[in-house]
Structure 1
Amino acid sequence: MAGKSNNHSRMARSPSHRPGQRRAKLDPFDRAILRVIQRDNKTPQRAIAEAVNLSAAAVQRRIAAMEAAGIITANTAVVDTAALGLAITAIVEVHLVDERAATVDAAKALFRADADVQQCYYVTGGISFVLVILSTDMVAYEETTRRLFAHNPAVATFRSLIALDRVKSGNSVPIA
């Protein structure tokens, strides 16, 4: 079939890990620091130092080194979506008309730039992207789907899954 993609040729990659990039070497102190700041990035360095048995200066140097190495990529606040009136969480599967680099790159740019798209993953398995979209209500969600998908000639199909309940959500990564 013309235009059919070979979904097995794509590999899932985290934004910070690309082919050829070596995995960061973290010692037990670095890992302990990461565990603490993932729970609360406003923890004072003095408290981190006590928790991991280092000096505050050593903790500061290690955090700066992990930031410079791209291990720590941001310091953010977790915001309650319901408090902001974002009642709808949609998980959306998007299938593009083709998998040419220009088509995929344009879709990535569009999704990355849209404020309603909270997360976007380029995936394997018969679809092109999985997105997490936040909206105030179904009317706003419909407007988003029209803007991103229905009026987009690069989108062949999309399927929405509306979350009934957020069972678990977070950005913490497991630290071995």
Structure 2
Amino acid sequence: MELLDNTDKTILRILQRDSKKTAKEIANLLNLTVSPIYERIKRLEKRGYIEKYVAIVNKNLIDLPITAFCQVSLQSHHESFIDKFENQILNLKEVQECYHMAGQVDFLLKINMRSLEEYHEFVRTKLSKIENIGILNTTFSLKVIKQTSELYL
């Protein structure tokens, strides 16, 4: 993989904070011309350093104030059971993030809901229907101390 120079890293930092910044705005910030900045951004996109551009939506304003972190341990760790679990999780729109973990817990899910009652219904009617779940442990966020999509460069 190609090493990034300081200009590439600065461009990535700027775009992580505000992906709507134009090549012209970034060029002005870096005291460079627009054309090489534009080419660098296109190269970073083409090589996969920039995967996509997204809007981060305020979960409270769309009435999803409850954040649950659900720890899932499977009964069997056979590859076919893991694959089946992962495929079923991909189909649950309520699951915002899912990580396959090392340690005592097999998977960690992040789920945002309108209420505890809605989360209970989700577990009862969808999550618990997934075959091979052994232990399901949920914790709820009381307060967000730090939340960022920026990667340290």
Q: Same fold (TM over 0.5)?
A: yes
Superposed structure 1 runs of 4+ greater than 4 Å apart: none
1:99–1:32 CA distance, 2 compared to 1 (3 A) = same
For residues 155 and 149 of structure 1, the distance between their equivalents in structure 2, rounded to whole angstroms, comes to: 9
1:99 aligns with 2:77: yes
> Structure 1 unaligned runs (5+)?
1-21
For residue 152 of structure 1, report the CA deviation from its aligned partner. Answer: 2.0
For residue 147 of structure 1, report the CA deviation from its aligned partner. Answer: 3.6
Match of 2:96 among 118, 127, 141: 118
Aligned residues: 153
For residues 31 and 93 of structure 1, the distance between their equivalents in structure 2, rounded to whole angstroms, comes to: 35
1:158 aligns with 2:101: no
Amino acid in the other structure paired with 1:65: R
Secondary structure of the structure 2 residue equivalent to 1:83: coil
For residue 52 of structure 1, report the CA deviation from its aligned partner. Answer: 2.2
For residues 143 and 102 of structure 1, the distance between their equivalents in structure 2, rounded to whole angstroms, comes to: 27
For residue 56 of structure 1, report the CA deviation from its aligned partner. Answer: 1.2
Q: Name the % identity.
A: 27
For residues 119 and 131 of structure 1, the distance between their equivalents in structure 2, rounded to whole angstroms, comes to: 6
> Structure 2 unaligned runs (5+)?
none
Query: What TM-score do you get using the length of structure 1 for normalisation?
Result: 0.82
For residues 32 and 152 of structure 1, the distance between their equivalents in structure 2, rounded to whole angstroms, comes to: 44
Cα RMSD (Å) of the superposition? Answer: 1.3
**1:70 alignment counterpart:** 48
Amino acid in the other structure paired with 1:89: T
* Greater Cα shift, 83-92 or 42-51: 42-51
**1:40 alignment counterpart:** 18
Amino acid in the other structure paired with 1:87: P
For residue 96 of structure 1, report the CA deviation from its aligned partner. Answer: 0.8
For residues 147 and 52 of structure 1, the distance between their equivalents in structure 2, rounded to whole angstroms, comes to: 53
For residue 69 of structure 1, report the CA deviation from its aligned partner. Answer: 1.0
Secondary structure of the structure 1 residue equivalent to 2:61: helix
Checking the alignment, whether the CA contact within 8 Å between 2:96 and 2:112 is kept in structure 1 is: yes
For residue 148 of structure 1, report the CA deviation from its aligned partner. Answer: 4.0
Checking the alignment, whether the CA contact within 8 Å between 1:37 and 1:43 is kept in structure 2 is: yes
Query: What TM-score do you get using the length of structure 2 for normalisation?
Result: 0.94
**1:25 alignment counterpart:** 3
For residues 37 and 113 of structure 1, the distance between their equivalents in structure 2, rounded to whole angstroms, comes to: 30
**2:27 alignment counterpart:** 49
For residue 102 of structure 1, report the CA deviation from its aligned partner. Answer: 1.2
